[in-house]
Amino acid sequence: MADNLEGLKIPEHVAIIMDGNGRWAKKRLMPRNFGHKQGGKVVEQICRDAYDLGIKYLTVYAFSTENWSRPQSEVDTLMDLLREYMSTCMENSQKNNMRVRVIGDKSKLDEDLQQKIAALEEASKDYTGLNFQVALNYGGRDEIAVKKVAENYKNGEFTLDQLNPELFEEYLDTKGIPDPELVIRTSGEKRLSNFLLWQVAYSEFYYPEVLWPDFNKKELIKAIEQFNKRERRFGGV
């Protein structure tokens, strides 16, 4: 296999917390928004790299439910970058046979951005290459809130005896998507920040010091190599 990965297990699903855009820009005496723009370019390349390496699912944390508390100018810039990215992603998904899904509470986004997301998801739904998930206005606690489950129970769609983890997962944003085997958080920070709280119960975690705009295929391979050094027992001996 290319890239010196022969004999290594490739994780089916990799999730990435893309951290360090602001610090990357600050080191270059540039505004934080410059880092976010560069970070968006890295996402496009990592999608191609992930597929080339045999990864089937890639999920990135683009904007959390807590990010609304950032300065309004930064939030506005991030939303504009997301609009631009959704348009670019439409072209890239077609060119690369890539299915794109957005997870999170899309109802809080501006109407034009919701429309771009809906068009992208519809256009790419039958593509069979990389499955790419973008977590946008996403929060793990918000996702696993039991209101939807309670409403469906009240409507008689299932009994308490039928309620189990498998049924509960049907109400998550990631329905039909396997749990991540490997979670990467760039910049060296070691916390989940409300990302995929249910889904990462048995994931392996990797925290490279590299800031997100400097993340590349070489760094992704390092993460896969570290993943292969772990002994995954899933609570067993």
Question: Hey, what domains does the chain have and what are their CATH numbers?
Answer: 9-140+179-228 (3.40.1180.10)
- Per DSSP (E only), the strands in 4-56 are 13-17
For residue 177, what are the contacts with CB-CB under 8 A and spacing of at least 6?
A: 13, 57, 59, 101, 131, 133
Angle, CA 124 vertex, CA 219 and CA 220 arms, to 5°: 5
- How many distinct helices (H) and strands (E) make up the chain? 8, 6
Stretches in the chain below the pLDDT threshold 70:
1-3, 234-237
Q: Given this model, what pLDDT does residue 131 score?
A: 98
Long-range contacts of 107-110 (CB under 8 A, 24+ apart): 108/137, 109/79, 109/136, 109/137, 110/79
Tell me which of 3, 4, 19, 126 is the catalytic residue.
19
Provide the 3-class DSSP secondary structure of residue 107: helix
CA distance 228 to 209: 19
User: How do 99-103 and 182-185 pair as beta strands?
Assistant: unpaired
Q: What is the pLDDT of residue 96?
A: 94
pLDDT for residue 49: 97
User: CB-side exposure of 152: number of CA atoms within 13 Å?
Assistant: 13
Please report the pLDDT score of residue 1 as a whole number.
41
In angstroms, rounded to a whole number, what is the distance separating the alpha carbons of residues 192 and 213? 19
Pick left, alpha or beta for residue 29 (phi over 0 → left; psi -120 to 50 → alpha; otherwise beta). Answer: left
Active site residue 105: no
- CB neighbours (10 Å) of residue 111? 7
Cα 157 from chain centroid?
A: 30
**Any idea what DSSP says for residue 157?**
S
Is 137 an annotated catalytic residue?
no
Which amino acid belongs to residue 50? A
Q: Does residue 193 contact residue 64 with C-beta atoms inside 8 Å?
A: yes
Q: Residue 105 class from Cβ within 10 Å (0-12 exposed, 13-18 middle, 19+ buried)?
A: middle
pTM: 0.92
Residues 6+ apart with CB under 8 A from 170: none
How far apart (Å, rounded) are the C-alpha atoms in residues 65 and 109? 11
Strands 182-185 and 204-206, bridge-based pairing: parallel
Give the model's pLDDT for residue 5.
81
Predicted pLDDT at 236? 62
Which residue out of 3, 67, 194, 214 is catalytically annotated?
Answer: 67
Neighbouring-strand partners of residue 17: 61, 185
Note the pLDDT of residue 151.
Answer: 85
